Chains A and B, each alone.
Chain A
Amino acid sequence: MKMVMTREEVFRATGPTPGSVIRVKLGATNDGRITAAEARLVYESGAFPGVWAMLGCMCVVSPYNVENFVIEGFEVVVNKPVNAAYRAPSAPMAAFATDTLTDEIARRLGMDPIDLRLLNCPGKGDVAPYGPKWPLIGLRDCLEAIRDSEHYRSEPAPGCGRGVASGFWFNIGEASSATVNLNENGTATVVTGSPDIGGSRASMALMAAEELGIDVHSIQPVVGDTEVVGFTDVTEGSRATFATGMAVVEACRDLKVQLRGRAARMWECDVDDVEWADGQATHSGGKHEPLALAAITAEAGRTGGPLGTTASLNARGAGPAFSVQVVDVSVDDETGRVTVERYTTAQDAGTAIHPDYVEGQMQGGVVQGIGWALNEEYIHDADGVMENPGFLDYRIPVASDLPMIETIIVEVPNPNHPYGVRGVGEVGIVPPLPALANAIHDATGARIRDLPMSPPRVLAAITSGNGDGG
């Protein structure tokens, strides 16, 4: 069955991210060390409570080592449409509260905002605010990458303001399956159940090629459904390349065992005398010329039948993701319009299997965050009915609104994935909200604490002259 919704139905029925009211209080010493945090996070839940407040609580001070904290979360049931998970759910608004405050601390102390974050940066073995100890993470590497970037080392253009912010998201594993079949001509078909929303198919092909030792162009990656591939959880939590990739690698490793067995049959030798490396079987005693994968698949019908396998797993060991971003903006003091003049994002990808697609995810996250920060807003009437269910009245950024989003891929490999993948889909949306608020403050002196920072709100903040508009 296929169901098609109109644009208006999508707006009204599929759910936005939760609305929220968040208060954060931070204590810091004169040298910039954050010693205490108090946070109260209130999230709208539509008609039914969910996990939004708890997720916000777990993220709100995560980019910082804070020894003492009290964090409270509340879910408020309201007469509005249901909320839904939306790219690092609950984290961006929590970061908006915390990372605008750390910007104020840095200003108050006359510190560089990156130095303040480096001073308070958690690392492996430190206790995360939600309980467990951090595994290997790349926040410090991202901070240093932005600090050392050409963008950050250069001055903002005259009249522009600059903002910095950091963001955290967990990433998750969940269930994935992959079926890999080797064809008679030495090509391979990789079937996975993860819909490709950011280039994951190409990454599946690359990981299979690396494992099997054959050219990536010999691999056809296919997205199947539950009629043709084992159960796979939805594409969420930045998990597709991490978890489904793990299933692809496991399937390919099983295939390599099968390929060694087939080579042993062709050579009439013990399978333990057959090794697999660089896409071919070799005889450990050197008695036979190596057999390429295609030579083995060509004989598959006579050595036991078609070669194929399936792997299904619960992926464990997702690597936490961090992003640090810097943005320069100009603000029209007659209209309040904010123009993003330059934007650079650094993000820990673990290992970037397909760097172009990783950059695409980083840029996509930033652009979605820019839209959230500057324009996007569900407007409801007094009865909770949405008044702007269409793109004429719900403004998202378009290409002409934006500069090229510059990317710095940081690679701190996740030790729990065979190729070090962390997942890159979500965390990029977390820092833009505070980064833009900090940049607007730098440009105008106005500290805006409500979103979106649309022209009327920015203009009101500028003209109020109290530096605390909104």
Chain B
Amino acid sequence: MAHVHFSSAQRRLTGGVADVKVEAETVRELLCRLETMFPGIRAHLDQTSASAVAIDGDIIPDATYEPVPPGAEIHFITPLAGG
């Protein structure tokens, strides 16, 4: 089970829930499960600036097809830019 953490802004879409444990093998599957739990959250995570995914601290842009290891810590954060 992946452990998904929500930022304070994202908690507006989870009814205040700060974290959940979800069974998923990929980020895409994870997003589907989250959408079932919190309707509307997938569009927020896909379309806002919070569209990169940190899997066990490794920040991955375009993570849709990334595998989610068992027990992974997941955060949805802004994609990084560099200068």
Contact = CB atoms under 8 A, between A and B. Distances in A.
Contacts of A50: 81
Interface string A68-111: 00000000000000001111110000000000000000000000
Interface string A163-183: 000000011101000000000
Range class of the B interface residue count? 10 to 19
A68 to B, nearest CB: 12
A170 B59 CA distance: 9
Contact of B83 (A88, A133, A314, A317): A88
Contact of B57 (A135, A174, A314): A135
B54 A89 contact: no
A232 to B, nearest CB: 14
A132 B75 contact: yes
B49 A317 contact: no
Nearest to B57: A132
Given A51-B49, A132-B54, A135-B57, A85 B81 contact: yes
Nearest to B50: A54
Interface string B49-83: 10000101111110000000000010101111111
Contacts of A26: none
Tell me the dominant secondary structure on chain A's binding face.
loop
A87 B83 CA distance: 4
A51 B78 contact: yes
Contacts of B60: 314, 316
Which of B5, B77, B82 gathers most chain A CB within 10 Å? Answer: B82
Given A132-B54, A172-B59, A58 B82 contact: no
Tell me the dominant secondary structure on chain B's binding face.
loop
A238 interface: yes
Given A131-B5, A132-B57, A316-B60, A239 B75 contact: no
A314 B59 CA distance: 12
Which of A58, A131, A314, A426 gathers most chain B CB within 10 Å? Answer: A131
A134 interface: yes
A130 interface: yes
Interface residues of A, number: 33
A236 interface: yes
Contacts of B83: 17, 84-89, 236-237, 426
B82 A51 contact: no
A172 B61 CA distance: 10
Contacts of A236: 81-83
Interface string A305-336: 00000000010111000000000000000000
Given A51-B49, A170-B59, A316-B58, A131 B75 contact: yes
A55 interface: yes
B80 A172 contact: yes
B81 A51 contact: yes
A54 B82 contact: no
A89 B77 contact: no
A363 B77 CA distance: 31
A51 B80 CA distance: 8
A237 B81 contact: yes
Contacts of B56: 132
A54 B73 contact: no
Contacts of A239: 82
A54 B78 contact: yes
B62 to A, nearest CB: 8
Given A54-B49, A170-B59, A131 B82 contact: no
Given A51-B49, A54-B49, A134 B81 contact: no
Contacts of B79: 51
B80 A170 contact: yes
B36 interface: no
Contacts of B5: 131
25 contacts: A51-B80, A54-B49, A54-B78, A55-B78, A55-B81, A58-B77, A85-B81, A85-B83, A130-B75, A131-B75, A132-B57, A132-B59, A132-B73, A135-B57, A170-B80, A172-B59, A172-B80, A174-B61, A237-B80, A237-B82, A237-B83, A316-B58, A316-B60, A317-B58, A426-B83
Interface of B: 5, 7, 49, 54, 56-61, 73, 75, 77-83
Given A133-B73, A237-B83, 10 more contacts: A51-B49, A55-B81, A132-B59, A133-B57, A170-B82, A174-B61, A317-B58, A318-B58, A416-B58, A426-B82
| The 5 A-B residue pairs with the shortest CB-CB distance in the complex, in nearest-first order | A237-B82, A236-B82, A131-B75, A132-B57, A85-B83
